[in-house]
Amino acid sequence: MIRLENLTTTFGKGQDRFTAVKDVSLDIKAGSIHGIIGFSGAGKSTLLRNINLLQRPTSGQVFVDGVELTGLSESELRKQRHEIGMIFQHFNLLNNRTAQQNVELNLKFAGVPKKERRERTLEALSIVDLADKASAYPGQLSGGQKQRISIARALVTEPKVLLCDEPTSAVDPRTTTSVLQYLSDINASLGITTVIVTHEMNVIKAIADNVSVMEDGAVVEEFALSSLQEPSFEPITPIGRYLISDEITLNRAPKQTPNLVADVARV
Amino acid sequence: MNFTSVVLATSNGSAATFNFDRIVELAPEIWVAMAQTFAMLLVAIPIAILLGTPLGIWLYSMSPNGLRPRPRVHRIVDGLVNTIRSFPFLILLIAIIPFTRFVVGTTIGTAAVIVPLTINAIPYFARFVEQNISQLGNGVVEAAQAMGASRGQIIREVLLVEAKPALLSSITIMTVSFISYSAMAGLVGGGGIGDFAIRYGYYRYETGVMLLAIVLMILLVHAVQFIGTRLSRAADKR
């Protein structure tokens, strides 16, 4: 469904030149949930934004459902984007529009006639169980509800692909589970190809079929999550091993406890 | 004792008489002056909104981080806006006299003051629009772009909707500022409540009449601010 070929994305010029994505090629199967994991600054968000050309790659090609996007005209690209939904870490909902108006806006952009919009909007809201919040403004909703509204907004045009940029990084652990459950259910029932960028291995373990590990702009390793079941499996790279262990290990120095008795005695 | 006049102490020790009879006598003139002030605002402010909004959107769009960056063109228009904004109003009033004559056929009176007021108000409001939009952040714009929105759709359906409360506050600030600018018009016989205050209060030493004019201005500013704050708050759903 998604094929990325030799993508490279560079920012800035001269001394400030910075390559966020380095020669990445990736193949994401239709209907799968593909995770992209890495630390901050690894280039995973840039790579995700390369898929819908929110960030144009400096070189390389992007195929979504057989269509090469980088060569399209602006209006053709807009048309293709109606087939690619996206959700964000900070939801990016319009504060001055209700939940329903936020979702409906996507249909408006897609040129869906007004009569049809209302019905499809309510349908999308009921997929995320928020039909009762249709007339609420984002300011009146919790973080988890806002993310669900943004999922409904992304889904309402019935896209083939859903891009998720750190969708659970701004919500608490319980809400994370709920958001992932919706994404998983939607993937299963609608067969929508889902790409999810995160720095949390727990998220990948919970939802992804396959994962790409990124470091310094490059994909350093890829594996299927099912292989984690095999006892002999071990990631090749140190970062891959580190990420799947998902433990916080500190180098704790011995405490320099002041010896009060001695201090008192000295006085 | 005369109940129709109140003696007010002034700083130099002389007494100013606030004479109600005199006020009643001048009432028709006060009404005319008020009407002239309203006329100035009712022409200048809507035109400033009508022309300043696209200019502000354009400034935002062409800026290096805008929807369609055109840094070189942006720098020129940006400079032009700054130039008009840097004129003290009184100087602008005089500087554009030929233009004013060309537009309204005269250089004195209320109509003549409306021209420089409007010229001043357009870039003034454009700056507000540009700032209010650029403060919205990139998030909503990116979301709209990801949804396949065109630039026009992003401006109409996203930016102007999200900036609406801030724009209403800006209109309020602009109106209050221009009540004061319109008063300056008195110096060139432009009419309005400021002109009235200068003619009676200053030229004829009728301090009571001057005070009344000031009170009317204060009431007008308060009313504008009250309504503006209400509208802005009602529009803000954050």
pLDDT given at position B211: 87
pLDDT digits (tens, 9 = 90+) for B111-141: 889 999 999 999 999 999 999 999 998 999 9
Q: To the nearest whole angstrom, how far is the Cα of B158 from the nearest Cα of chain A?
A: 7
Q: In this complex, which of B143, B148, B162 lies closest to A95 when CB atoms are compared?
A: B162
Residue B143: CB partners within 8 Å, gap ≥ 6?
A86, A88, A92, A93, A150
Of A135, A197, A131, which is closest to residue A169 (Cα–Cα)? A197
Task: Provide the pLDDT for residue A214.
Answer: 94
pLDDT at res. B203: 84
User: Which domains are seen in chain A, by residue range?
Assistant: 2-83+159-266 (3.40.50.300)
Which pLDDT does position B5 carry in this prediction? 56
The backbone region for A6, taken as left when phi is positive above 0, alpha when psi lies in -120 to 50, beta otherwise, is left
C-alpha dihedral sign at B193, B198, B199, B202: positive
CB < 8 Å to A85, chain B: 146
Rounded to 5°, the CA angle B46-B47-B51 comes to 120
Q: E strand or H helix at B155, and its extent?
A: none
Taking the C-alpha atoms of residue A122 and residue B107, their distance in angstroms, rounded to an integer, is: 60
pLDDT digits (tens, 9 = 90+) for A125-165: 999 999 999 999 999 999 999 999 999 999 999 999 999 99
Least confident of A9-18, A132-141, A173-182, A245-254: A245-254
Q: What is the pLDDT of residue B1?
A: 43
Pick the residue of B147, B153, B232 with the most A CBs within 10 A to test the interface with A by mutation: B147
* Closest alpha carbon to B53 in B234, B174, B183: B174
Helices (H), B87-109: 89-95, 97-104
Which residues of chain A have a CB within 8 Å of the CB of B236?
A: 96
Dist CA A113 CA B83 (whole Å): 46
Q: Which DSSP state fits B28?
A: H
Question: How is residue A227 annotated by DSSP?
Answer: G
**Chain B residue nearest residue A77, CA to CA:** B148
Torsion angle of C-alpha atoms A115, A121, A124, A130, degrees rounded to 10: -140
- Domain B29-235 belongs in CATH node 3.50.50.60: no
SS3 of A220, please?
strand
Q: Does A108 sit within 8 Å of B157, measured CB to CB?
A: yes
A94 close to B (CB below 8 A):
yes
Which parts of chain B sit beneath pLDDT 70?
A: 1-18
Chain B interface includes A109 (CB < 8 A): yes
Contact in structure between A44 and A165 (CB atoms under 8 Å): no
Pairing mode, strands A161-165 and A84-87: parallel
